[in-house]
Amino acid sequence: MTADFGRGFLYAVSAVNVSKEGSMKKQNEFRLNTTTDIKVFLLFILDSLGYALEHRAIIEIAEENTGEITFDYDECLRQLVASDHLLYEDFGDERYYMISDKGHIVATELYDTLDKSFRERSLRFAARHVSLDKRGARTSSSVSVAEGGRYRVTLRISDHFGELMSTAVTVNSREEAEQIKRAFDSKPDGVYRGVLFSVTGKLEFIS
């Protein structure tokens, strides 16, 4: 990983400003209306984010996108688990759901049954749950001397399931290395979102 890329994802977090006005009118015309819609939506969100979400977060995301209509979200989750489209793990008092290979196939085949602008808006909302604090994630960073008199900054994030991110940036001076370390230590969420944006190209992670 180069220093330019390291600076790039830090810049992306602070510099990108996404305009939402263009899609709002169309989004307001589309809502999830059936339990099938809900199931497809949940698979789409978990597949797009690419990591496990806790039960509470999933319910919040579903409620945000169903308006005045009330659904039995827990029953939708149970059915998706029973049909092997979702997997889950329990940690403490919280249950975390993740998409299975079978669920990924269905999400890929059916996601376009959801309105495009709706998908974009709902994914921006769901991406807020990347919050490392909410997920009980742990972070660590260190600076070490690399070959050629340069300095390597190692950044790591892990959660209940294991490693979320492990990356190293090599720069020419200790001052620059310490600056990167401080930026990560003070705003690990921003760096993590920036990395996700850099490697996926999905603006939802930084909007």
- 21 or 4, greater pLDDT: 4
pLDDT at 9 over 60: no
* pLDDT on residue 23: 38
Pairwise CA distance, residues 109 & 113, whole Å: 9
Tell me the domains of the chain and their CATH numbers. Answer: 3-17+134-205 (no CATH), 31-114 (1.10.10.10)
Per-residue pLDDT, 179: 93
Whether 96 contacts 54, CB under 8 Å: yes
Please write the tens of the pLDDT for every residue from 178-203.
999 998 888 888 888 788 878 877 66
> 142-173: per-residue pLDDT in tens?
999 999 999 999 999 887 778 888 999 999 99
pLDDT of residue 77: 93
The pLDDT of residue 12 is 43
Which three-class secondary structure string do you get for the chain?
CCHHHHHHHHHHHHHCCCCCHHHHHHHHCCCCCCHHHHHHHHHHHHHHHCCCEEHHHHHHHHHHCCCCCCCCHHHHHHHHHHCCCEEEEEECCEEEEEECHHHHHHHHHHHHHCCHHHHHHHHHHHHHHHCCCCCCCEEEEEEEECHHHCEEEEEEEEECCEEEEEEEEEECCHHHHHHHHHHHHHCHHHHHHHHHHHHHCCHHHCC
Per-residue model confidence (pLDDT) at position 15:
41
Residue range 49-72: mean pLDDT, rounded: 77
- Whats the size of the chain, residue-wise? 207
Is the four-CA dihedral 176, 195, 167, 155 of positive or negative sign?
positive
pTM for this prediction: 0.56
Across the range 89-118, mean pLDDT stands at 88
Asked whether the predicted pLDDT for residue 32 surpasses 60, the reply is yes
With beta carbons less than 8 A apart as the criterion, state whether 1 and 194 touch.
Answer: no
Tens of pLDDT, residue by residue over 126-142, are: 776 666 666 667 889 99
